[in-house]
Structure 1
Amino acid sequence: MDRELDEGGETDTGGGRFPSGTDTASLPDGQHEWNEYLVHGAHGNTSLPQHQVILGLSYVGSVPPTTAERERVEEALSTLEAAVRWGTGGDPSAAINDGLLTMLGYTSRYFDRLGSSVEQLTSPESLLESIGEDTEHADEFDAVLFLTSDLGSLTIGAEEALWGEIDELNGVAFDATLSGIFERTTRRTGVVGQGLVADEVEQDDVPDDAPLSMGFRSGFKDSQPSEAAVTIDSGPFAGGTTAAVGRLHIDLDRWYDSGDLEDRTEKMFCPAHDPEEIGETADKLGSESSITETDVDRMTEDADRHARVGHSQKLASIRDDSFDPLILRRSEGVATDAPEPVDFNFTSIQQDIEDFVTTRRAMEPEEYDFDVDDDEHGIVDYLETKGRTALVVPAREDRALPTP
């Protein structure tokens, strides 16, 4: 995403270009409570905003943080919310998210510096070890800030206002900024959505209307838990959540060369999914992925009969007793800052980071007794981790430099 231009021309962050914001007190208690403020499709599925900026931050303030620093962080974030509305503003018929959604989360490194820890959190190194990945890919952030909207110019303008690079956004002056408290060490950008992905990815086989680079829709209602289910229910961060943040590489050439649409459908969903019934991009599926407990029970049989099992099929095997998933996706954007546009940003939220570990381990072939070639074992063989970290995302009232 270009910092100067969006699809409409030069970035204009002053005046009244974007929908006006609201008082922070009227917003959801949880920073992660986006669902009511996302665009909803015809089948009731939520659609993540098309543009995202993910900022890896280094905390450069006082240890421990001072009251004045906390007040400045909160004022900067509250001013942003006063300048631009929270997502769609809760309009159930909204066709575009022309507002902004944000989350600010903190890593174990931040809490280590304060001499404290968080029960639901782990270090990025421990996270990587627990899922069998190289600890060299640990992201050394103290915090991460998410900015997302259907308007790329709005995410850019919000970032610039928060660090004092512009004086006002949407006609609202920023008297407080994050500059001098947080330094931006990593800036990741991404896009999702029909047309945007195909334009960004240099892979001719990506369908023009594919919302993601591997070709299929995701975020079905039955593959996403409720926000309440991923909310921490006790302790100092009750009302918040945890986030797993990753930058991954997809071997798209090998993915599209590995077989036809039927092969890719079976590897993404399960061998019982017929592309004639679900469509080229899973566009014929409504609100449900059609993955059932029967599909899970049939995995060994599918492995024997088809020498293949599906990604969604495997992940369904670790759902809870109500057959609800453990993690809620918050970004799957194709990276627009990478030298080659075949990376993507993956962020999930969950009550405890262990829920992410359980989900990620369910992708690995060694978790299963049957013998299937790695490239037929869902999609895991086509993914390579380039960076990961884990965060706690406090409730809104505790988001400014928390000390548990």
Structure 2
Amino acid sequence: MASASAQLAVDRQVKVISDFEYNLAPDRIPSTNVTVETAQKAIKLAIVSMTLITVEIRRDPTFIRTYSSNFRNAWKGVWTWLEFLHTQCVVRQEYGETLMLQSLRIIPFIINVFTRGDRNLRKDIQTTPGIFRKLVPHYLQEGDDNTQDRANIETKFDFSAAMMTLLQDVEFLDTTVLPSVVEAADGGAGAIAQVTVDRLRVAIAKTPPDLSVIESRLCLLSIFTINLYRPLRSAMLLHKSLPIIIDTMNMIDAQPAHSFVAGTGHSTFASLVMLCFKTLFASLESSNGSAWIAKAIDAGLLPVVLQLSRRLAQAGVDPLIAKAVSKKVLDVVQEHLVYRSVLHRLAKALRKIDRTSISDHLPEPILGGWVTFKAAATSSLELKSEFEAARKTWEIEPGCFGCQFPDVSLPSCCRLRSDRILNAHLLVPNSLR
């Protein structure tokens, strides 16, 4: 009985693929000399065939991988169809509102399911000329909830999901992909960054929060933050991606443990937290780090890192992993303890942590890293106090502005003279202003 059932499933899948390949062949695209009724029939068959593919994937998540060669061979024709649907049904609305709405739904949906199933197929789609010129404008125009309902027709135009799955494995993206994404956006990298940050901000502000929506928006923000394409990465930081990551971490920490139940459609606590940490690492290690570190501390970086590290350990994550993620953040901050802007904010953060007794409840692996960091921070704060007390008696060195060390030589004027010099901008010669 089991083997007969399995054979029926295989036969059904073969039929679905056969119909898909036939109905989405490029020569099935309606020409300009056919009647509207004939064109509509061909379009409906193409949309139904794509929809049946998504139904089959729900039944069998390995469906795309099993028949990946078929889908890779069919992709060129599928893309030709998607371009036709976008131009004729969406932009020009040649065939009525119903087909316009169905096209808006199926275009991102089929890209989403194709790119989720097979890495080679995903790479084919990523490098398809013009694909981001179709996706990115719709991504930027989507509403906060990614839904647009017209004429009581149930639709979900989830271009965000298509972008997220298409750009996953950001470390292995072809070097042309992200520049193509930015080029396709009206407003460039700044527009992408602003929309991505704003959408996550809206998601974490909702009560109760939808954790699956938050995870998808956080994934896209992470992709745009951890990539090596500098214009996009810099734009994310400039549009306050770092504070919103910390706000997201605070929101996660505020949720009770039962909110993160595997198998209910919600993300697990550990997966969300680790995604936050991954994105946080990339932001903190960016260029001009001291400015971002100071802003992150202002936004509540240290308390939430300790809290979530503790909760990771409590949730069953290996304590050494929980220690490693917190220690990595603390190590990055510690590298910037020579900057007064960082230390000024750090003093407030340490007082808050002491006042709320957060560190009193840390498990041992995490506590050890925190004690080491706090000792280094306290030492730097003491040096800062000595520095600021002593600088009142120093004279300004001729040839420099702001340099208050009478014995500093001009050749070393652009370098940090000692641990007590806590801002490099104090030592800039007039000739380099």
* TM-score w.r.t. length of structure 2: 0.23
> Higher Cα Rg: structure 1 or 2?
2
* TM-score w.r.t. length of structure 1: 0.24
Q: Indicate the structure with greater strand content.
A: 1
Flag the structure with more relative contact order, 1 or 2, with Cα contacts below 8 A and sequence separation at least 6.
Answer: 1
